[in-house]
Structure 1
């Protein structure tokens, strides 16, 4: 196995690889010995390659050519790598890629761009929305990124609202809800979806639409009715997250939510624990349910809600979630990354889990989140 292959293998498989491995990956990706493996690792690297930002930015300019207009795989890899570090020098290339069709069409890689300031990223996403027209993956991926931008995505309201009449309505509703009052002009259309009168209403639309209607209008009545009815009817997993967001406003549904803590479905149990705690403020019934779902041997398989349970324990925080601290620290100390994800997205999946674990530990047991032994830490920084 070559030095480059070994370095790529190390950064894909290990949470704390020798920093020299990243040096080798960056040098290969920006040099003559680039490979698909090095490119895939670079896109996922994030802050791990921040110290190489100048090198990557210089190579990005070279890839863009003398007029700064060239687009293609090389430009995309370098622009996304810079974006993942939060470096604004990625933005001109991202604008060009958005205009000419070079941005990623899968959600995990697209979310890398959210490391950039939301106000700077929104114009890039608007350019892409206007270009992609009816392309399914282009629209859903762009809407995913806009949802992460929250209220800063307000300049995109008109373009997002157009998607309410397209197959991407569910994703558009999430964006509008995250934008909030600045999207108030869409309240009537969202209400139509919530009550089954929308042109593309499907099984899942009413709950999301009702939640979005509340977020843009400030009126919780429709959301409480629609999401509460879903919980009472047995389609609980589609209504519980929205009741959780409504919090004490959903007090009338607390008993129905409590009854779902023993549901046979893990996702429903976790969602019910979250909703019950948010509605009542009482963590005692929720913590054991969430803790039972934290499998220390989880491989990253998305069919089970391990990461969600960890994040919710972190939201509950100290002291109620204190019993989770030792388990979370043990999981965080593992050397191997999550094994389930494809190698092309393995770092992204594992780093998201590590962030969830770290944030949860900081809230549950402040100062307990660094699992790296002193000797290993010296190897990383020496």
Structure 2
């Protein structure tokens, strides 16, 4: 058991643990000598355990029993592990789990399901939504990740506009796009505040969703532009960013918000300004200032969002490449405050860093030097924090 505990500790702590540590975790789970932490690690492993896919699939069949219909914790662990690899052998078990209320209830774990093709799971997600709201939050999260491929679920998602999950439902409908055009009138009601469930955060997202499903930006520009001008900028900026050049009339207001005291607003404004104008020069320093190399995963800080937006800008954000490469090369995972999803959280950050670097400096590789003010130009507002970290390493 000590060997298993050490292996589990290693895969939770390190981004690139010795592959033998994952071997021990798989052995423990498949031999029933497991623990909650080992099970949780395997669920989060993703493609790190691809070489064990056949063994996990075989063990899943054993857990499901002779008729292949058994459900329970063991089935869920193995099915989610396969799903994280994108392995279609997870689908029958996931269908059964969906029928019997065994799918994840939390967003981080539910996102694992989005690694599978939507066509294989959308019917199950519809069944889950038809059963009520117990797993609605997690289910809507998955459907949102699939975007247009989630279109068959429009009737069930629309039903959740009348619940406390209306905000999530609005996002799903917007991500689905034109296939949800039949909901345009409902979206207008939310955007104008006439819907019974319309809260103070709903109008911007509903107006954005209306544009996405109808192709008409008028309502979105009006509602989201008014939000930005009124001081509730953080709730309108991401939608103006999606509108891009269509929101050109708001460019000056958005640029002014790049000096906001709120980090999330600064990042959202920098991204929106670049998307609206196509000018990366003012945006890159603002985004780079938020890429704290000491970030431990606290979701209150927009570090990952800043990295993602730098990656979208691409080559004009070349000043960020050295710092992002150095962060990516670190051995230890993020010390995420929700330790139960530490592997998932760090894997998402690694994926964001990797994709950003590939877009900023395609094919870049080789040793990554420690960051310094000479290697990575940063704005004065961030330099003190940056150099303070440099002395610690």
1:284 pairs with 2:281: yes
1:119 pairs with 2:119: yes
CA distance in 2 between partners of 1:116 and 1:371 (Å): 34
1:240 pairs with 2:237: yes
CA contact (8 A) 1:143 1:172 kept: yes
Give deviations 1:301-320, integer Å, cap 9, x for gaps.
Answer: 011100000000000000x1
CA contact (8 A) 1:274 1:312 kept: yes
In structure 2, relative to structure 1, the CA distance for the partners of 1:170 and 1:304 (3 Å cut) is same
- Secondary structure at the counterpart of residue 202 of structure 1: coil
Q: Where do residues 144-183 of structure 1 align in structure 2 (5 Å cutoff)?
A: 144-183=141-180
Q: Which residue of 2 aligns with 1:323?
A: 319
- Secondary structure at the counterpart of residue 292 of structure 2: coil
1:209 pairs with 2:206: yes
CA contact (8 A) 2:83 2:116 kept: yes
CA distance in 1 between partners of 2:31 and 2:349 (Å): 31
In structure 2, relative to structure 1, the CA distance for the partners of 1:370 and 1:161 (3 Å cut) is farther
Match of 2:342 among 327, 340, 346: 346
- Secondary structure at the counterpart of residue 339 of structure 1: coil
Q: Which residue of 1 aligns with 2:8?
A: 8
CA distance in 1 between partners of 2:367 and 2:136 (Å): 39
CA distance in 2 between partners of 1:245 and 1:143 (Å): 21
CA contact (8 A) 1:358 1:369 kept: no
CA distance in 1 between partners of 2:339 and 2:221 (Å): 42
CA distance in 2 between partners of 1:239 and 1:192 (Å): 18
In structure 2, relative to structure 1, the CA distance for the partners of 1:262 and 1:225 (3 Å cut) is same
Higher relative contact order (Cα pairs below 8 Å, separated by 6+ residues): 1
Please identify runs of 4+ aligned residues in structure 1 that moved more than 4 A.
369-373
CA distance in 1 between partners of 2:368 and 2:64 (Å): 40
CA contact (8 A) 1:122 1:149 kept: no
Q: Which residue of 1 aligns with 2:268?
A: 271
CA contact (8 A) 1:114 1:121 kept: no
Computed over aligned residues only, the root mean square deviation of the Cα atoms, in angstroms, reads 1.2
Aligned residues: 369
CA contact (8 A) 1:43 1:78 kept: yes
In structure 2, relative to structure 1, the CA distance for the partners of 1:311 and 1:192 (3 Å cut) is same
Match of 2:361 among 358, 365, 372: 365
Moved more, 25-34 or 82-91: 25-34
CA distance in 2 between partners of 1:155 and 1:171 (Å): 17
How far the C-alpha of 1:367 sits from its partner, in A, is 1.6
How far the C-alpha of 1:32 sits from its partner, in A, is 2.6
In structure 2, relative to structure 1, the CA distance for the partners of 1:310 and 1:233 (3 Å cut) is same
CA contact (8 A) 1:332 1:371 kept: no
How far the C-alpha of 1:368 sits from its partner, in A, is 2.2
CA contact (8 A) 2:325 2:357 kept: yes
Q: Which residue of 1 aligns with 2:22?
A: 22
Give deviations 1:54-83, integer Å, cap 9, x for gaps.
Answer: 000000011011111110100000000000
Unaligned runs of 5+ in 1: 374-382
How far the C-alpha of 1:370 sits from its partner, in A, is 6.8
CA contact (8 A) 1:207 1:238 kept: yes
CA distance in 2 between partners of 1:204 and 1:118 (Å): 29
